[in-house]
């Protein structure tokens, strides 16, 4: 508190300012983030630096997000080092996408309680660059985050967060470890990102909408709350498929069952992907030869055709997709907005339109902006590159795509330069080839938005 005095400040309730004064606990919390060399840490609401002091010992780079102007200034002076960045502002406005360049990045914070759930949703939103977070939250929030079916705290927050994150309650902290003391106990929780495949895939937006509808009136049977997702008969079929009783309430339904219900009510559309499919085979001049099966083409290293599609939005950002862990080539790498092999008897342009629909569930006006000759770097593919403008929303083909997001070109340039291993090599080849016309398209897209 003496620091507060010297700053001429007093704790602001409106900003949820309760300061941890027990160094042992601060050090224990930081230890739970399991940080190691070369990592980057983002701290939400560092206040007077109780946790920061402990993180700094690890010699890592840190970003501090603090809304209180006086504290931001104090932190800047106190931790003046090249690897410490202090951002004065609302952590809800922090663009988490920049952290893809600094992976593995982790998040920590004794959260301001008035904003905990909004902060949780912001920092876990897809595309999410973080794998591990440690937060101190109000006890009641910790109970909701970690609740299991049939508990009274089990609600939409528990289900939506736990689908992608493993939540563990680590320790209860009494009010006395903070100044001023909050009214209630606090709990330190850890959130670790689940590996892809832990649960059946589901469309994140639709999943959240379904679960929120199911929990909208806790005392009602869930079958009466899901009318937006199907007629009564379809809902009964979905409940049966998920082994959920017709009389069940939302609190009785596990995460696996929620996913099953969604995927029966709204079956994911799975296109193509037939291993015997015939693809266009070409000669050195890209002239078509006899079509052959994809497996034969790859086994015999034959020249063939592919398209890459790059979509930009009216904010001037490029859509990238993250390939599914199920892909045989370059799983979990970032790639063009959509891409694929040209089928037998299909033109490059027809293929581009088909891939856009199959992978992203959308159509768009596409312009050809480049072509790359076949080489070892392209996987023996002649590639035509198409581009278009689209703001989404997209319906990711869940069998092909883990997630996706828009990124500005400066960030993509920097990302490719610093972490080329994050990308499918075909995308990097295409991006380099069309970086200039893509920049022009972005200027046009921005103009369209006025």
Q: Which of 20, 211, 385, 416 binds ligand SAM (CB under 6 A)?
A: 20
Residue whose CB is less far from ligand SAM, 188 or 281: 188
Return d(Cα 364, Cα 229) in angstroms, integer.
27
Using the contact rule CB under 6 A, the part of the chain among 39-47, 157-165, 277-285, 367-375 near ligand SAM is 39-47
Contact 243, 251 (CB under 8 A): no
Question: Which residue in 203, 225, 206 sits closest to 214, CA to CA?
Answer: 225
> Among all residues, whose Cβ is closest to ligand SAM?
45
Which conformational region is residue 193 in: left (phi greater than 0), alpha (psi within -120 to 50 degrees), or beta?
beta
| The token pair that represents 188 in the structure block | 């330190």
Task: Name the minimum Å distance from CB 180 to ligand SAM.
Answer: 10
- The distance of closest approach from Cβ of residue 17 to ligand SAM in the complex, given in angstroms and rounded to an integer, is 5
* 51/142 with CB nearer ligand SAM: 51
Binding window for ligand SAM (CB under 6 A); candidates: 14-22, 54-62, 166-174, 305-313: 14-22
CB of residue 27 to ligand SAM, shortest distance in Å: 12
15 binds ligand SAM (CB under 6 A): yes
Tell how strand 40-44 and strand 105-110 pair up.
Answer: parallel
**Alpha-carbon gap, residue 171 to 7, rounded angstroms:** 32
110 binds ligand SAM (CB under 6 A): yes
Residue closer to ligand SAM, measured from CB, 51 or 309 = 51
Question: Please, what is the minimum distance in Å from the beta carbon of residue 39 to ligand SAM?
Answer: 19
Give the shortest CB-66-to-ligand SAM separation in angstroms. Answer: 5
Q: Which residue has the tokens 């040209």?
A: 342
Rg over CA atoms, the chain: 25
CB of 73 to ligand SAM, least distance (A): 12
Residue closest to 366 by CA, chosen among 352, 382, 346: 352
**To the nearest whole angstrom, how small is the minimum distance from the Cβ of residue 100 to ligand SAM?**
21
By CB under 6 A, residue 112 contacts ligand SAM? yes
User: Rule CB under 6 A: is residue 17 a binding residue for ligand SAM?
Assistant: yes
One residue of 4, 30, 115, 279 binding ligand SAM per CB under 6 A = 115
Q: Per CB under 6 A, which region of 107-115, 211-219, 371-379, 414-422 contacts ligand SAM?
A: 107-115
Taking Cα atoms as reference points, which of 306, 264, 304 lies closest to residue 287? 304
What are the structure tokens assigned to 69, written together? 């102007």
Between vectors from CA 43 to CA 40 and to CA 47, what angle results, nearest 5°? 145
Burial class for 270, CB neighbours closer than 10 Å (0-12, 13-18, 19+): exposed
Tokens at residue 50, please? Answer: 């109780």
Q: Which is nearer to ligand SAM, 3 or 409 (CB)?
A: 3
- Stretch of 2-10, 15-23, 296-304, 334-342 lying at the interface with ligand SAM (CB under 6 A): 15-23
**Least distance to ligand SAM, CB of residue 182, Å:** 8
- Report CA dihedral (144, 145, 146, 150) to the nearest 10 degrees: 40
Q: How many residues bind ligand SAM (CB under 6 A)?
A: 24
Give the strands of the sheet with 105-110, arranged side by side.
84-88, 61-66, 40-44, 105-110, 130-138, 186-193, 165-173
The least distance separating ligand SAM from the CB of residue 177, rounded to whole angstroms, comes to 9
* Backbone φ and ψ of 240, nearest 5°: -60, -45
**42-101 positions binding ligand SAM, by CB under 6 A:** 44-48, 50-51, 65-68, 71, 90-92
Question: Other CB atoms closer than 10 Å to residue 357's CB: what's the count?
Answer: 17
Which residues make up the interface to ligand SAM (CB under 6 A)?
A: 15-20, 44-48, 50-51, 65-68, 71, 90-92, 110, 112, 115
């Amino acid at each position: 508190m003496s620091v507060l005095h010297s700053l001429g400040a007093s704790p602001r309730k409106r900003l949820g300012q309760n300061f941890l004064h027990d160094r042992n606990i601060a050090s224990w919390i930081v230890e739970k983030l399991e940080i190691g060399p070369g990592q980057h840490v983002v701290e939400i609401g560092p206040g007077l630096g109780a946790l920061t002091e402990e993180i700094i010992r690890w010699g890592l780079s840190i970003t501090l997000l603090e809304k209180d102007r006086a504290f931001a200034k104090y932190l800047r002076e106190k931790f003046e080092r090249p690897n410490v960045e202090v951002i004065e502002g609302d952590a809800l406005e922090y663009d988490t996408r920049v952290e893809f360049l600094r992976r593995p990045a982790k998040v920590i914070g004794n959260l301001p309680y008035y904003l905990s759930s909004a902060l949780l949703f912001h920092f876990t939103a897809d595309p999410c660059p973080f794998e591990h977070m440690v937060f101190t939250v109000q006890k009641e929030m910790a109970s909701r985050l970690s609740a299991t079916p049939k508990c009274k705290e089990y609600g939409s927050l528990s289900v939506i967060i736990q689908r992608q994150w493993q939540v563990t309650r680590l320790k209860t902290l009494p009010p006395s470890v903070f100044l001023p003391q909050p009214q209630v106990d606090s709990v330190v929780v850890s959130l670790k990102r689940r590996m892809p495949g832990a649960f059946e895939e589901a469309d994140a937006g639709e999943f959240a909408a379904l679960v929120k509808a199911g929990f909208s009136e806790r005392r009602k049977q869930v079958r009466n709350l899901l009318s937006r997702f199907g007629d009564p008969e379809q809902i009964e079929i979905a409940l049966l498929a998920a082994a959920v009783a017709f009389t069940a309430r939302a609190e009785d339904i596990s995460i696996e069952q929620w996913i099953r219900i969604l995927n029966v009510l709204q079956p994911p559309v799975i296109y193509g992907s037939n291993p015997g499919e015939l693809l266009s085979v070409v000669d050195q001049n890209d002239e078509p030869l006899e079509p052959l099966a994809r497996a034969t083409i790859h086994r015999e290293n034959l020249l063939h055709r592919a398209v890459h599609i790059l979509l930009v939005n009216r904010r001037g950002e490029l859509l990238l997709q993250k390939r599914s862990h199920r892909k045989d080539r370059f799983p979990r790498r970032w790639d063009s907005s959509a891409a694929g092999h040209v089928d037998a008897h299909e033109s490059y342009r027809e293929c581009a339109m088909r891939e856009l629909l199959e992978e992203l569930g959308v159509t768009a006006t596409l312009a050809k902006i480049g072509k790359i000759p076949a080489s070892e770097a392209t996987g023996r593919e002649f590639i035509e590159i198409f581009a278009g403008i689209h703001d989404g929303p997209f319906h990711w083909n869940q069998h092909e795509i883990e997630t996706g997001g828009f990124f500005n070109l400066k960030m993509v340039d920097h990302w490719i330069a610093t972490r080329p291993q994050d990308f499918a090599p075909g995308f990097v080849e295409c991006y380099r080839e069309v970086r200039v016309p893509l920049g022009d398209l972005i200027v046009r897209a921005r103009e369209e938005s006025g």
